[in-house]
Amino acid sequence: MSSPITLMVATAICAPAILLALRNSNWLVDYLFFVVALNRGVRRMVDYQNGYFDKYSLISLTPIIVCGLATLVVLLHLNTRRRLGQATSETLWIYGLAVLGAFFIGLVNVRLGAVYALGEYIAPIGLLGYAAMHAKEPSVLSRWSNSVAFSTAVVAAYGIYQYYTIPPWDAFWVRAVGFEGYLGNLKPTEMTLFSTMAERGPAASYLCGGLILLLLRPKTLGVFRWPTIALVATAMLLTYSRTVVIWTALAVIVFPLINRGTAILPIAILALLVAAIGPSILSRLPSAEKITSRVSTIGAIQNDGSFKIRLFLIKTTLKSSLQEPFGLGIGSHGLAQRVGKANRGGSGDSTGYIQTLRTFGWIGFFMIVILLYKLWKRSSDLVQSEMDDANVRLFRAWFISGMVALFSGDWMFTATFFWVLAGHCLGLYDLALEEEMADDEAESDLEHDEFDLSQFGSPIPPQQYANSLS
């Protein structure tokens, strides 16, 4: 039974989201990112204040409620089809059905764990839908990007504070979930940064997403952009994750390559600056040797023990998945499987692709593949139509680099700006489709009018009449 203070805090978190949803406000997206990013940190403080670890804490349910409200708003528009086009609707149906199937499997296998993990899986529905509905409003997308960047800065700043001080509520949580050793020693500068996230992997992914956004979307945060980049990059390195270093570098390299040299000069200057002053800054960090040793193994990753273990686990879990065609369901991975005491867990699924396969099963996995193909195809159609939109270019670079990063860990099924960009692309595609259909209808009406005039012997020649409208 949750304590009164837990109930009060959970209510305080959810109340603004309910008001925003009732008003159909797009500020709900801004608020959603902060709730997803910070709710675990708030929960740890409350548990520490209560004096016990509450694995069924109501604060853990706040992302489900907030993301659920955003999803509900989108589904209402999906049903009426007033503000969502065909491409967006099809994509939402594909993803929604895959999540629904995985949730029911999760309820059987993981029970309550499926409920606690559901919030992250339904977040993409709300983000996709909202972004598609506001595709014609660049100011809204810019505000969302600033909110995501600011939430990333908060996660980074708190993470660095955590790294140097080890707050008592974080130490209390690490011991309660048995992560002492896995996250390092509970001493300043001897513990891996995990900030307000579930552990270091999700923290690294969230920081990486914010860093890619800041690097490749120049107007984000204005004059505070570069100080924030330095802050986020520092925190990201302190997670000791090599995947996010590869992911960030690949996104920056791929961006000009697939976008006809766009921003190649600023990126070249950035690369030179990193090469020139990066080693000096890195040497000043308390764990410089550990960070350097981790990053230096990237060049010979094929010989790394962790890389070899991942390859072995891929082969093993692929065999296991043949015996589980419907998957293990939502909540079968991470801390959620502990909450629900899963009958079958996927704790060994250390790669994003395998985790996706074992969560959704073969049918659901195939639906996710179709979803990703459609997202890439729609963005390609926009590029081929010569649409000059920097957000479409950013999405494509994020897509390619993200698919490589998915080999290491699952970053995709949560609240990430990737889904906002995907929804923006779908919204633009639907708008272009509607304009094309409207033009076709106008031409059809014009031809019909010309035919009618000729029947009544109009003195105005049809061709002249058509030219007078052009």
d(CA 95, CA 373): 12
Structural domain contains residue 1: no
For residue 181, what are the β-bridge partners? Answer: 184
User: 140 with 133: CB under 8 angstroms?
Assistant: no
Q: How far out from the chain centre does Cα 99 lie? A: 16
d(CA 210, CA 192): 19
Tokens read off for 271: 């690369």
Structural domain contains residue 16: no
Structural domain contains residue 250: yes
Nearest CA to 332 out of 321, 322, 342 is that of: 342
pLDDT at 257: 86
The DSSP annotation for 75-90 comes to: HHHHHHTSS--HHHHH
How many domains does the chain contain in total?
Answer: 1
pLDDT at 459: 42
d(CA 206, CA 197): 9
User: 145 with 378: CB under 8 angstroms?
Assistant: no
For residue 191, what are the β-bridge partners? Answer: 184
Structural domain contains residue 75: no
Structural domain contains residue 54: no
pLDDT at 387: 77
User: 202 with 179: CB under 8 angstroms?
Assistant: no
For residue 223, give Cα distances in angstroms to 30, 216, 262, 432.
20, 15, 22, 34
Nearest CA to 246 out of 258, 234, 254, 238 is that of: 254
Q: Give the list of residues 6+ apart from residue 89 with CB closer than 8 angstroms, or none.
A: 78, 81
The DSSP annotation for 402-452 comes to: HHHHTTT---SSSS-HHHHHHHHHHHHHHHHHHHHHHHHHHHHHHHHHHHH
Q: State the Cα torsion 459-462-468-470 to the nearest 10°.
A: 170
| Number of residues assigned to the chain | 470
Structural domain contains residue 437: yes
Q: Determine the structural domain holding residue 191 and report its residue range.
A: 85-119+131-445
Structural domain contains residue 201: yes
Encoded amino acid at 150, one letter? F
User: 339 with 55: CB under 8 angstroms?
Assistant: yes
d(CA 385, CA 166): 52
Q: Give the list of residues 6+ apart from residue 28 with CB closer than 8 angstroms, or none.
A: 17, 20, 21, 66, 69, 70, 73, 126, 130
Nearest CA to 113 out of 283, 341, 302, 285 is that of: 341
Core vs surface per residue 217-226: b (16+ CB within 10 A) or e: beebbeeebe
Structural domain contains residue 455: no
Residue 184 DSSP class: B
The DSSP annotation for 264-310 comes to: HHHHHHHHHHHHHHHHHHHHTSTTHHHHHHHHHGGGGGGG-HHHHHH
d(CA 378, CA 135): 14
What is the residue-level pLDDT of the chain in tens, covering all 470 positions? 678 999 999 999 999 999 999 999 999 999 999 999 999 999 999 999 999 998 888 998 999 999 999 999 998 877 665 578 889 999 999 999 999 999 999 988 887 888 888 888 999 999 999 999 999 999 999 999 999 999 999 999 999 999 999 999 999 999 998 888 889 899 998 899 999 998 898 999 999 999 999 999 988 999 999 999 999 999 999 998 888 988 999 999 999 888 776 667 777 777 777 666 666 666 666 666 666 666 666 655 656 656 666 677 677 777 777 777 888 889 887 666 555 455 555 555 567 888 888 889 999 999 999 999 999 999 999 988 877 788 999 999 999 999 999 888 788 988 899 999 999 999 999 998 888 777 666 666 666 555 554 454 444 344 343 333 32
